[in-house]
C-alpha cells in the first residue's frame, strides 16, 4: 500500500557470485493522495558474477494517485539482473492516476576485477537501458498507450536471452538492447492477457544454463520474501 506523502525506498544488493530470487507475496496499490504525491525508489546492485531474478507482482495506480517511481540497476562484471515490472493504471472500472516511471541500468565493462585500491583500473559504467515513462493525462493519445491500461515488461540485463524465447508475432514485443540484454513488453487492457508469465521462467533457465547451473529453482534458504504492500 502506498499513500500520498509516502516515500518508499527498496535496496537490493546481491553479493559476488551469489544467486538471489525475490518473491513478492502481494502486489502494491498506490491510493489517492489528496493532493500529495508519493515516491517508490528501487536501487539494485548485483556484484561480479551475481544473478538476481525478481518476478514482481503488479503495481497499481488507483484514481487520484500521483506516483514517481524510479528503478536504478547497477551490474558488476558478468552480473545479470532479470526483472519484471507490471504497471497497472487504475483498479477495475478506474482510469487510474498519474505515474512517472524511470528506469536506468548500467554495467561495468572493460576493467579488471581488482578495485582501484588494489592497483586496478577504475571501472567504467556503460548504460544498458534508460527509459522515462510519463503516464499522465496525455497517455491515451495515439502513439503512447491508447486504450491500454497495463504496461507489462520483462527486462534481462547483462545477458542476451536466446531467440528461442522471443514472443510470437501476436504476443508481447521483444526488443534486443544495444548491449547485453533484452526487453519484452505488452500493452493491454488487463494483466490476464499479457502473455509474459512464462518469459521470466524461460529466461532465468537460459541464464542459469549458460552458467552451468541446474534448472531446479533456488534452495529455500536462498529465496527472499519481499512484502510490497496489500
Beta bridge partners of 165: none
Q: Which of the pair, 219 or 93, is modelled with greater confidence?
A: 93
**What pLDDT, on the 0 to 100 scale, is given for residue 26?**
93
Residue that has been written with the C-alpha cell 541446474 in this structure: 214
Nearest to 217 by CA among 78, 56, 53: 53
The model's pLDDT over 143-165, given as tens digits with 9 standing for 90+, comes to 888 888 999 999 999 999 987 54
Mean of the per-residue pLDDT values for the chain? 85
Residue 30 and residue 61 in contact, taking contact as beta carbons nearer than 8 Å:
yes
Residues 148, 117: contact at Cβ < 8 Å? no
Q: pLDDT of 22-78, one tens digit each?
A: 999 999 999 998 889 999 999 999 999 999 999 999 999 999 999 999 999 999 999
Q: How far apart are CA 85 and CA 42, in angstroms?
A: 12
DSSP string computed for the chain: -B-TT-EEEEEEEEPTT-EEEEEESS-EEEPP-TT--EEEEEEEEE-TT-EEEEEPPPEEE-TT-EEEEEEEEEE-TT-EEEEEEEEEESSTT----EEEEEEEEEEEESS-SS-GGGT-PPPEEEEEEEEEEEESGGGGSTTTTTT--EEEEEEEESS---GGGPPPTTS-EEEE-SSSEEEEEEEES-GGG---HHHHHHHHHHHHHHTT--SS---GGGEEEE----
Q: For residue 179, is pLDDT > 80? A: yes
Residue 33: its pLDDT value, please?
Answer: 87
Q: pTM of the prediction? A: 0.84
Sign of the Cα pseudo-torsion (206, 207, 208, 209, in order): positive
Amino acid at each position: 500500500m502506498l499513500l500520498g506523502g509516502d516515500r518508499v525506498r527498496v535496496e537490493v544488493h546481491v553479493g559476488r557470485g551469489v544467486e538471489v530470487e525475490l518473491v513478492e507475496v502481494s502486489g502494491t496499490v498506490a491510493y489517492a493522495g489528496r493532493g500529495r504525491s508519493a515516491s517508490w525508489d528501487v536501487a539494485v546492485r548485483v556484484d561480479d558474477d551475481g544473478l538476481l531474478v525478481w518476478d514482481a507482482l503488479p503495481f497499481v495506480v488507483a484514481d487520484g494517485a500521483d506516483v514517481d517511481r524510479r528503478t536504478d540497476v547497477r551490474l558488476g562484471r558478468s552480473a545479470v539482473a532479470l526483472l519484471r515490472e507490471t504497471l497497472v493504471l487504475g483498479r477495475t472500472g478506474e482510469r487510474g492516476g498519474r505515474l512517472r516511471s524511470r528506469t536506468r541500468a548500467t554495467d561495468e565493462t572493460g576493467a579488471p576485477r581488482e578495485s582501484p585500491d588494489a592497483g586496478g583500473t577504475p571501472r567504467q559504467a556503460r548504460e544498458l537501458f534508460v527509459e522515462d515513462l510519463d503516464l499522465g493525462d496525455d497517455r491515451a493519445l495515439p502513439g503512447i498507450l491508447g486504450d491500454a491500461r497495463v504496461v507489462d515488461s520483462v527486462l534481462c540485463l547483462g545477458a542476451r536471452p536466446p531467440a528461442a524465447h522471443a514472443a510470437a508475432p501476436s504476443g508481447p514485443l521483444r526488443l534486443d538492447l544495444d548491449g547485453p540484454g533484452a526487453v519484452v513488453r505488452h500493452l493491454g487492457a488487463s494483466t490476464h492477457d499479457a502473455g509474459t508469465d512464462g518469459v521470466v521462467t524461460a529466461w532465468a533457465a537460459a541464464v542459469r544454463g549458460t552458467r552451468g547451473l541446474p534448472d531446479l529453482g533456488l534452495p529455500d534458504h536462498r529465496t527472499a520474501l519481499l512484502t510490497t504492500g496489500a
